[in-house]
Structure formats: C-alpha cells, structure tokens
Amino acid sequence: MKGKMSGEDRTGLGRWAELAEAFPSMRFKLDFNGSIPPEKVAQVVRAMPDVLRERLRYVEDPCRVEGLEAARRLRRSMGSGGVPLALDECVKRGGGSLLDSVLKENLADVLVVKPMAYGAVHRLLALRNSAGKHGTAMVLTTLLETGVGRAEVAQVAAMLGSPDHSHG
C-alpha cells in the first residue's frame, strides 16, 4: 500500500502503524514528496514506530534532492534508520550525470520512474540495465495519465520493472 505523507506528520505515521498492526502481511511505501526539511529526515525516520519501519518497502523522496551532494547527505540520513530509500524527482529532473552518480554510489535502493516523462522505451531499457548492474530496483508509475496512459505504464512495468515490487 502506498501512502502520501506530509513533512513531520507524526499523527499520520501513527495511523500507518495502526494499519501495519491490523494487517500483518501488508507492506507499505510512504511518499513524502520532498516535504521533510533535509536536516530533519533522520529524525523523522527514527521516530517511525517499529511496526511500520519493519514493514516499509521504502520511503520515497523524503526531501528535495537538488544535486549529488544532497543525494549523498540524504543517503547518510536514511542509512541511520535502516529504511530503504526510493528517489523519484531526481530521476525525472536530474539528467544523466546525476542519475549515473546516484546509481554508481548506491544512493538509492529504488528508482521510481515515470515512463511518459522519461521518454522512449530504449532509454528505459538502458536505465533498467544500469540500475540492475548496481542492485537498484526500478518501479514504474504514472503521471496524471488517462486510462490509455495507465495501461501503457502497466505494460512497460511488466516488461521492465523490478518483479519484486508493485508498480503503478
């Protein structure tokens, strides 16, 4: 189950923990959309209830990543909490060199890729191959697509996405 979170909303984390307790087999992805101040990411991760932290597939974009050094700082912050990190916005906006460095330096566990924003299938295939070489999973998701766009993303995810992750 994927949830959207805002900043340092401890009440929201508590509600997700209640869901984790109620549904023991459920796994969670929390997307903060870059809303946590970078200097507070480690604090928010440490504040997560254990039952939630144990069931997290990943935390997506906890803060804005505006370059390689910001990605390095974020990885260090997330590493202290033992929670997998997914990056979305820097994949879309970062361009080749930032993305190459994120992969080479293992700065993310998961790349969240929007095929319609990323481009042609051959570029997605090259990204999947590069991510695979570095042990980084690739999750494909949509922008604000129509039904046709969502169907296309589902097909691309079936072909190129990491099989042990849910897409969409």
The structure tokens listed for 88 are 């979305």
Cβ-contact 91, 101 below 8 angstroms: no
* Phi/psi of residue 93, nearest 5 degrees: -100, -20
pTM recorded for the entire structure: 0.87
Please tell me the predicted confidence (pLDDT) of residue 81: 63
For CA atoms 153, 151, 165, 31, the dihedral sign is: positive
Cβ-contact 106, 134 below 8 angstroms: yes
Cβ-contact 71, 64 below 8 angstroms: no
Q: How far is CA 25 from the centre of its chain?
A: 20
* Phi/psi of residue 24, nearest 5 degrees: -60, -25
Q: pLDDT tens digit string along 78-105?
A: 876 678 999 987 766 545 778 889 999 9
d(CA 50, CA 101): 31
The structure tokens listed for 118 are 């990323």
Q: pLDDT tens digit string along 13-72?
A: 889 999 999 999 999 999 998 899 888 888 888 888 999 988 999 999 999 888 889 999
Q: Which residues pair with 85 in a beta bridge?
A: 59
Closest Cα to residue 4, out of 35, 41, 38, 25? Answer: 35
d(CA 75, CA 60): 12
